[in-house]
A and B are shown apart, each in its own frame.
Chain A
Amino acid sequence: MIEIKDVRKSFSTLEVLKGINLTVNKGEVVTIIGGSGSGKSTLLTCINGLEPINAGQITIDGTVVHAKDTDLNKLRRKVGIVFQQWNAFPHLTVLENVMLAPRKVLGLSKEKAEEIAVKQLTHVGLREKLTVYPNRMSGGQQQRMAIARALAMSPEYMLFDEVTSALDPMLVGEVLDTLKMLAEEGMTMICVTHEMAFARDVSDRVAFFHHGVMTEIGTPDQLFGAPQHPDTQAFLASVR
């Protein structure tokens, strides 16, 4: 369970998160929608401790993320994240990209790491690309590889930060299908996205962020069907 309590976060004088409260239960899929600069992506990088916070508390299965004695390297094994820019490691093949962390971070044998990597890459439809270097693949394929790379650590939670925003429109579908598949398998996920149809289809709950505040959260039917807050209404009207 991820519990976010009164989290505040500033970049110098700009406050991007103004007291966020959100609890995500095991097996739940929560998507976060909202305009650019609303703090959605920042929240994700705070959850796995890549960014410090100024106030409040985030706990993951009882571990306080920003506590001084928390081993973030250990915590991050449990919380995978995939970014808008997929950040493939260009000097490694697709297989090596996915094997690297299981071997070096989890300390698995080469054989075991390879077995896991092949399994995850097959899962995202890249079985044919094992020996290819990432720059020979499309953005959609690289993004699916990044997802497999995160999954190879057997995370209990996955964070997706606008994973389709940097893709050609025609490649968005293949990545969204991968996310849907994960959601159906019961992965606990927080997805920041601009894909409203996707948010409606896969989410258990949808949260709307506006200027660092979570103005509204509810089931897809509630949020898309009958938004309560004027900011949510205005946003949904503009994206439709």
Chain B
Amino acid sequence: MLNYTFHWNQAFKALPQMLDGALVTLQIALLSMVIGLALALTLTAFRLSGNRILSGFATTWVEIARNTPALFQIYMAHFGLGNFGIHLSPYTALLVGIAFNNAGYLAENFRGALKAIPDTQARAGRSLGMTPVQAFRLIVLPQMLRIAFLPVTNQMVWAILMTSLGVTVGMNTDLAGITQELNARSFRTFEFFALAAVIYYIIAKLVTLAARLLAARMFRY
């Protein structure tokens, strides 16, 4: 350790390249969240449907997503599906794997948020002549989104960090992938990964900050 001389210059020279990778990282994370949110709402609807097949399907999804390693979920999307002749590119496999994971966690968050809203809220809406759909959309949903907002933000941060697992399926255009390639060429592991970690940290913090500002605007009560 004492013999090691830091070569930060090499790392800083690669910064523009790494920032390009960071954009890809952010893009995958955002896409996976949009898909994950849509899936989570669907899974939540399935679970509330009262249909045993639909709710069983949704519960199985949530159980697998939350109780197995995210790495395996991404592996399955790439190599696992590959065994069945479905070949996804590293980018798509990473997106699918993270979206699967997001959907499971978010569906559970939504369920908790729904439980926190008393039945009497929808009932009050119905008693004013609203249809069940109106009562849900106008009264229950906005309150649910507020309760779920913080966990959704956490999941977004988690999604950003999960993208780094893409290197295991050959992803080489995101921040982790580019960092890994630079490392392989130079063996300046500490410098490159430390810089990459700082970039991940800043992205995560910015996302949290943006979410907080958005929440302050959206939820005034």
Residues of A close to B131: CB separation below 8 A: 73
In the complex, what residues of B have CB within 8 A of residue A89's CB? Answer: 121, 124-125, 139
Using known A-B contacts A90-B143, A90-B221, A104-B134, determine if residue A76 contacts B129 with beta carbons closer than 8 Å.
Answer: yes
Size of chain A's interface in residues, with CB distance under 8 A? 27
**B interface residues, how many (CB within 8 angstroms):** 21
Our pick among B127, B129, B134, B139 for the contact of A74 (Cβ within 8 Å) is B129
Q: Which residues of A contact B129 (CB under 8 A)?
A: 73-74, 76-77, 101, 105-106, 153
Docked complex Cα distance between A135 and B221 (Å): 8
Q: Which residues of A lie under 8 Å from residue B221 when comparing CB positions?
A: 90-92, 133-135
A101 CB, min distance to chain B CBs, angstroms: 4
Q: Is A67 an interface residue (CB 8 A)?
A: no
Whether A100 contacts B138 in the complex (CB less than 8 A), given A73-B129, A91-B146, A153-B129, comes out as: yes
Residues in B neighbouring A150, C-beta threshold 8 A? 127-128
Encoded as 1 (CB less than 8 Å from any A CB) or 0, chain B from 126 to 161 comes to 111111001000110011001000000000000000
Question: Per-residue CB proximity of A142-186 to B under 8 Å, as 1/0?
Answer: 000010011001000000000000000000000000000000000
CB nearest to A86 among chain B residues: B124
- B7 within 8 A of partner (CB): no
Residue from B130, B142, B146 in contact with A73 in the complex, judged by beta carbons closer than 8 Å = B130
Question: A104 and B120: CB pair below 8 A?
Answer: no
CB contacts between A and B, total, < 8 Å: 62
* Cα distance A80–B120 in the bound complex, in angstroms: 15
**B13 is an interface residue with CB less than 8 A from chain A:** no
Q: How far is the CA of A73 from the CA of B131 in the complex (A)?
A: 6
Q: Are B126 and A76 in contact (CB under 8 A)?
A: yes
- A-B CB proximity, top 3 nearest: A87-B124, A101-B128, A133-B221
Q: What would be 29 A-B contacts, judged by CB atoms less than 8 Å apart? A: A48-B127, A76-B128, A76-B129, A77-B129, A80-B127, A83-B124, A85-B120, A87-B121, A87-B123, A89-B124, A89-B125, A90-B143, A90-B221, A91-B142, A91-B146, A100-B128, A100-B138, A101-B129, A104-B130, A104-B138, A105-B128, A105-B129, A105-B130, A105-B134, A106-B129, A133-B221, A134-B221, A146-B124, A153-B128
New A-B contacts (18) at CB < 8 Å, excluding given A76-B127, A90-B143: A50-B126, A50-B127, A73-B126, A76-B128, A76-B129, A83-B127, A85-B120, A87-B118, A87-B124, A89-B124, A89-B125, A91-B142, A91-B221, A105-B128, A105-B129, A146-B124, A150-B128, A153-B129
